[in-house]
C-alpha cells in the first residue's frame, strides 16, 4: 500500500506489523546503568549470542513504556535531577543549535522518540518510531510535519524519497548486522545522513549492556556503544560535526 504526502511516497506502512517488537525500536540516550550489569556484549548472561537492539522485543517494550519520561534525560528532570553532569546543559543547547542550523531539507528522522530534536529540523520533516507512545508525543511537536509508526531497519518510504536521514541516539545502540541494515536503508532513502549520539568518555567502555530503570521500578537491559567524534565519522565515511564530552555528531553524503 502506498500513500503520498508533500511529494513523498510512503510504502509498506502497516501499523499492525510495525508495532511488532521484532521490527525495530525507538532510541534512548544513556540512562541509568547498574555497574553490576556491565558485561561484554552478548546476551548479558555470559553466553556468546550476538547482541541485538532494533530487533529485540524486550528493548521495544522498554522504550514504549519510557515515552512519558523520555525527555527527563535531556532536561535533567526525574531521576536525572540529582546527577552530576558538568557542562551538560551547554552541550544539549549546542546540539539543539546544530540541528536547527542544518539547511532545510525533506528529512526523515529515524527512531525519532518524542521528537525532542526532531522539532528543531527545518523543512518538511517526518519522524519515524516503532513506539506508538513516542510517535504520539512527537506528532504533537510537529504541527507542520508527520510522525509515523514504522520499522527503522525496513524504512516504509520509497527509494530517494527524502533528501536527508537524521537519527539521534539510535546508531550508537546498533550491533554490526543492524548497523549495516540501517546504513543500507539510509543510503536507499536519501543522499545525506546526520547522526547525533552519546560521546565516549574516559569512564565508559566502547560497548556494554546497561540496566535501565524506569520510574515504575521496572528494569530493562539495553545494548549500547560509545564513540568519539572521529570514530563516528569514520564508521559513517563522513565528517565530524560535533565532538563534546557528552555528545557527538557526524554527517555523511552519497552520490
For the record, the C-alpha cell of 48 comes out as: 556468546
Ranges of each domain in the chain: 2-253
Tell me, what's the pLDDT at 203? 86
* SS3 state of residue 126: strand
Instruction: Provide the pLDDT for residue 154.
Output: 97
Answer whether 0.95 is exceeded by the pTM: no
Q: Measured between alpha carbons, how far is 124 from 105 in angstroms, rounded to an integer?
A: 7
pLDDT at site 39: 35
pLDDT tens per residue, range 51-93: 999 999 999 999 999 999 999 999 999 989 999 999 999 999 9
pLDDT at 14: 39
Helix 132-140 with 57-66: angle, nearest 10 deg: 40
Q: Taking a C-beta distance cutoff of 8 angstroms, is the pair 157, 9 a contact?
A: yes
Class of 2-253 in CATH: alpha beta
List the chain residues with pLDDT less than 50.
1-3, 12-48
pLDDT, position 30 = 44
pLDDT at 117: 98
Percent of the chain residues past pLDDT 70, beyond the cut? 81
Amino acid at each position: 500500500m502506498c500513500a503520498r504526502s508533500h511529494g513523498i511516497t510512503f510504502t509498506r506502512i502497516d501499523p499492525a506489523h510495525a508495532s511488532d517488537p521484532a521490527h525495530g525500536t525507538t532510541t534512548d540516550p544513556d540512562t541509568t546503568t547498574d555497574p553490576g550489569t556491565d558485561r561484554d556484549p552478548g546476551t548479558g548472561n555470559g553466553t556468546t549470542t550476538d547482541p541485538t537492539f532494533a530487533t529485540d522485543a524486550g528493548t521495544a517494550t522498554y522504550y514504549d513504556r519510557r515515552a512519558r519520561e523520555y525527555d527527563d534525560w535531556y532536561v535533567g528532570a526525574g531521576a536525572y535531577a540529582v546527577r552530576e553532569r558538568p557542562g551538560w546543559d551547554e552541550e544539549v543547547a549546542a546540539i539543539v543549535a546544530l540541528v536547527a542550523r542544518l539547511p532545510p531539507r525533506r528529512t526523515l528522522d529515524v527512531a525519532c522518540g518524542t521528537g525532542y530534536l526532531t522539532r528543531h529540523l527545518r523543512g518538511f520533516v517526518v519522524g519515524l518510531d516503532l513506539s506508538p507512545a513516542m510517535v504520539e508525543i512527537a506528532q504533537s511537536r510537529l504541527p507542520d510535519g508527520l510522525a509515523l509508526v514504522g520499522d527503522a531497519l525496513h524504512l516504509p518510504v520509497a527509494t530517494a524519497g527524502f533528501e536527508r536521514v537524521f537519527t539521534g541516539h539510535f546508531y550508537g545502540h546498533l550491533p554490526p548486522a543492524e548497523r549495516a541494515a540501517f546504513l543500507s536503508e539510509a543510503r536507499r532513502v536519501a543522499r545525506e545522513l546526520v547522526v547525533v549520539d552519546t560521546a565516549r568518555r574516559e569512564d565508559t567502555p566502547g560497548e556494554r549492556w546497561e540496566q535501565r530503570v524506569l520510574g515504575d521500578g521496572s528494569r530493562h537491559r539495553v545494548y549500547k556503544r560509545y564513540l568519539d567524534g572521529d570514530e563516528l565519522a569514520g564508521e559513517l565515511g563522513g565528517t565530524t560535526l560535533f565532538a563534546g564530552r557528552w555528545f557527538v555528531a557526524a554527517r555523511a553524503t552519497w552520490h
